[in-house]
Structure 1
Amino acid sequence: MSFIYDDLECVGYLLFKNIKILNANTISSPLTYGFPAITGFTGATHALSRKIAQIDELNHIRLDGVLIACLDCTVRAYRENAYKEFSFVQSRNPILKTGKTAPIIEEGKCHLTVSLMMGVYTDGFLSEEEKDSLKNNALTLLQQQRLAGGSVIEIDKFNPVQFIEAEELNNFTKQLLPAFVLMDAHRHLIEITEQLKQTNPNATALDALIETAVLHHHPDDIGQKWQTTSVKQGRGWLVPMPVGYQGISPVFEAGQMASSRNLEYQSQYVESIYSLGEWCFPHRIDDLEQAFWYQVYKPEQNLYVVAQKS
């Protein structure tokens, strides 16, 4: 099932193993950082799909949905000692044509190693020749484009890309090891919100989101030892994350909004939407099909979100 290509059928998946990404964007939203935003991967999937569609023998194939399995994420940050805050490591840009020093625009970068699965959609059967062509072209094109703002510098040397038949998806769980797969955990945000309302009836989902970043220190009954608690205990590896955007203005026609990045499309002012995600070990996921993220547009609510089928 695809949220974009409803008239096409998912016939399989492409698995890109052990992709090393240099200098990916680690700032995922105005409030969160650490791992790139999901839209960095869904956007890369859509860009790859458009490039494949321009190849004559593959113009009937589309890609949609991406499963993100992270093996390593190293944020480029530094602090002098354990009592000081981290700051992002910045780069010095080349001098301008005038010979003056270019200004430093603060950025947050990270080095990633991920495995990605992307859904393959078409209106018919794929021959073995088409599968081989799809794998070869997708591998070449993926290395030529950006992933989450970073540069792809290496893919698995022995088996970089595989085509997985749709019905065999769950047989390839071990191929994702030893990574952790990013899953939607909005249900935990609802549970935590209800838990907070027991002591504060005015608690909101934003309070619950902030609570996931709080550690509570309590003395024991005799006051000799301290205990540390968190609402995340017993709920897995939860992380706050952006899941899309909410429109906060009317939709402007193409070319109407000044300084728009692309004057060919409509524009709208938006704000980030937040929820909770969970890093899960692949063997804890019963159906890998539920782990794919899709771009979803809900015009009646002015929502541009990434979501999983569940």
Structure 2
Amino acid sequence: MTDTAALLLLPRLRVQNANAIPGPLSWGFPAPSAFLGFTDALQRQLRGRFDVDLVLGGCGIVCHRFAPHVARPAGRYHRVFRLTRNPYYAGWKRGFSEDKPATLVEEGRAHLEVSLVVEVRTELHEDERPDLLEVLPDLLGAMRLAGGSLLPPHPRAVQDKRYTPQWFEWYDSASDNEDAFRGLRRYLLPGFALVERSDLLAARLAELQAERLDASALDALLDLCRLNIDPVGPDPNDPDHTLWQIRARAGWLVPLPIGYAALSPLYAPGTVRRTRDAITPFRFCESLYGLGEWVSPHRMRDSAQLLWQREASPEAGIYRCTNRYADCPPISAN
């Protein structure tokens, strides 16, 4: 974190119709890659407005509200997505109307309210910071986050600075940075921050492999994220029956898509048809899953616990998002 010059807080961003299917195995909150991609897009927008070659780094994700578009059919226990036909009739694009309705496109959507903490790696003069904070609401209104549309600023933004972008200077002293981060955390409450818990996944995998040698990381991931009901012993009132108890979890753990793993070699630009452009190398990939946890920001003592960073290893074929929450112990509940 030595290259951090400041932290830019984007509070209470309201997102409409964000993508709720971040990976092939799970649905719910968007993946960290969606927010890091938003940071890259914001960096390009700011470079077009200012002469400074502004560089943005990691991104911290705090969720205040999550409302998925789901419904529970009558007599069922599972939930289904609320899907729409766009357009409603199949012949709409061909210039005439048909009685045949268009097919449903399987997509999951959700409404979000999130606060983002963006790492700034470029020194910005004090005279330029007010201009940047003033232009941010207009820039954000024309952008998309996780496939969803950003709504206008919060109605309280005019009277309450907690709903407007804030600039937090970063220092060379660790104690000064702790004080600055302590002040930033107040703007993130109430809410829950998304962090990575690869340490819990590795520990659970070791426990399963001690019981069963063929246990895989997927078995450990499913064991941590699902609802487990274990037997605790015979019923004292009825010895013929067994008492069952829900296994306590280590925290609010969720399966999390954290990047991509290569399925093919890296092809030269222009050699694969129908790619995005002819100047970028291309590679076929699959989703890479890990373990995430929702924690309260007041449990954090360092910005490194909050920020997600990019990590790429083209030789190994790994492109993933990383978080250092497990490297620093959280603040005790006591």
Q: Specify if TM > 0.5.
A: yes
Rounded to whole Å, the distance in 1 between the matches of 2:250 and 2:295 is 11
Q: 1:221 to 1:12 in 2, by over 3 A?
A: same
| Alpha-carbon separation, structure 2, partners of 1:97 and 1:174 | 54
Higher mean C-alpha deviation, range 192-201 or range 65-74:
192-201
Q: Deviations over 1:134-172 (max 9, x none)?
A: 212233212211101101114342332111112312322
- Any unmatched runs of 5+ in structure 1? 3-8
Give 1:255 shift.
2.1
Q: Taking structure 1 as reference, are residues 69 and 82 closer, same or farther at Cα in structure 2, changes over 3 Å only?
A: farther
1:25/1:109 contact within 8 Å kept: yes
Pairing 1:165-244 to 2, within 5 Å after superposition: 165-166=169-170, 167=177, 168-212=180-224, 213-218=226-231, 220-222=233-235, 226-230=243-247, 233-244=248-259
Q: How much has 1:211 moved relative to structure 2?
A: 1.2
- The answer (yes or no) to whether the contact 1:218–1:227 under 8 Å persists in 2 is yes
Cα separation, 2, equivalents of 1:97 and 1:141:
35
Deviates more, 1:10-19 or 1:155-164: 155-164
Does the CA contact (< 8 Å) of 1:170 and 1:288 recur in 2? no
- Which amino acid is 1:296 matched to? E
Are 2:70 and 2:80, in contact at CA under 8 Å, matched by a contact in 1? yes
Partner letter of residue 89 of structure 1? Answer: R
Aligned residue in 1 for 2:173: none
How far apart, CA to CA, are the structure 1 residues paired with 2:112 and 2:242? 39
Shift of 1:121: 1.5
CA distance in 2, matches of 1:225, 1:133: 67
CA distance in 2, matches of 1:260, 1:37: 23
Cα distance in 2, alignment partners of residues 220 and 200 from structure 1: 23
- Tell me, in whole angstroms, the C-alpha distance in 1 between the residues paired with 2:61 and 2:321: 13
- CA contact 2:85–2:105 (8 Å) conserved in 1: no
Supply the distance in 1 between the matched residues of 2:227 and 2:272 (Cα, whole angstroms).
Answer: 40
SS of 1:178 mapped into structure 2: coil
Q: Secondary structure at the match of 1:194?
A: helix
1:43 Cα offset (Å): 0.2
Q: Secondary structure of 1:138's match?
A: helix
**Would you say 1:147 and 2:145 are equivalent positions?**
yes
1:47 equivalent in structure 2: 41
Contact map agreement 1:193 1:203 (CA 8 A) in 2:
yes
Q: Is the 8 A contact 1:180 1:279 kept in 2?
A: yes
Displacement of 1:31 in angstroms is 0.4
Contact 2:73/2:80, CA 8 A, preserved across alignment: no
Aligned residue for 1:274, secondary structure, equals strand
Q: CA deviation at 1:103?
A: 3.4
Paired AA for residue 244 in structure 2: Q
Give 1:214 shift.
Answer: 4.0
Q: 18, 27, 30: which is aligned to 2:24?
A: 30
The 2-side partners of 1:260 and 1:228 are apart by 52
Q: 261-270 or 143-152, which moves further after superposition?
A: 261-270
SS of 1:245 mapped into structure 2? strand
1:89-100 map, 5 Å: 89-94=82-87, 95-99=92-96
1:15 is aligned to 9
Distance 1:56 1:16 in 2: 19
TM-score (norm 2): 0.84
- 1: CA distance between counterparts of 2:4 and 2:138? 22
Q: TM-score, normalised by structure 1?
A: 0.90
Contact 1:49 1:64 in 2 (8 A): no
| Rounded Cα–Cα distance in structure 2 between residues aligned with 1:287 and 1:130 | 27
CA distance in 1, matches of 2:243, 2:190: 34
Which of these two proteins has the greater Rg computed from alpha carbons? 2
Instruction: Say whether the 8 Å CA contact 1:50–1:62 is kept in structure 2.
Output: no
Provide the rounded CA distance (Å) in 2 between the counterparts of 1:82 and 1:264.
53
Extract structure 1 runs of 4+ deviating beyond 6 A. none
How many residues were matched structurally?
Answer: 299
- Structure 1 distance, partners of 2:131, 2:47, is 12
Contact 2:258–2:288 (8 Å) recurs in 1 = yes
Q: Distance in 1 between matches of 2:84 and 2:259?
A: 29
Question: What residue is the counterpart of 1:77 in the other structure?
Answer: 70
Secondary structure of the residue that 1:241 maps to in structure 2? strand
- Which string of whole-angstrom CA distances, capped at 9 and with x for unpartnered residues, describes residues 67-121 of structure 1? 0000111110112236342111112212323335543211000010111110111
Q: Match of 2:136?
A: 138
**How far 1:234 moved relative to its partner?**
4.4
Task: Give the Cα separation in 1 of the matches to 2:195 and 2:312.
Answer: 20
Deviation at 1:225, TM superposition (A): 6.4
Cα distance, 1:224 vs structure 2: 5.1
5+ residue gaps, structure 2, are 171-176, 328-334
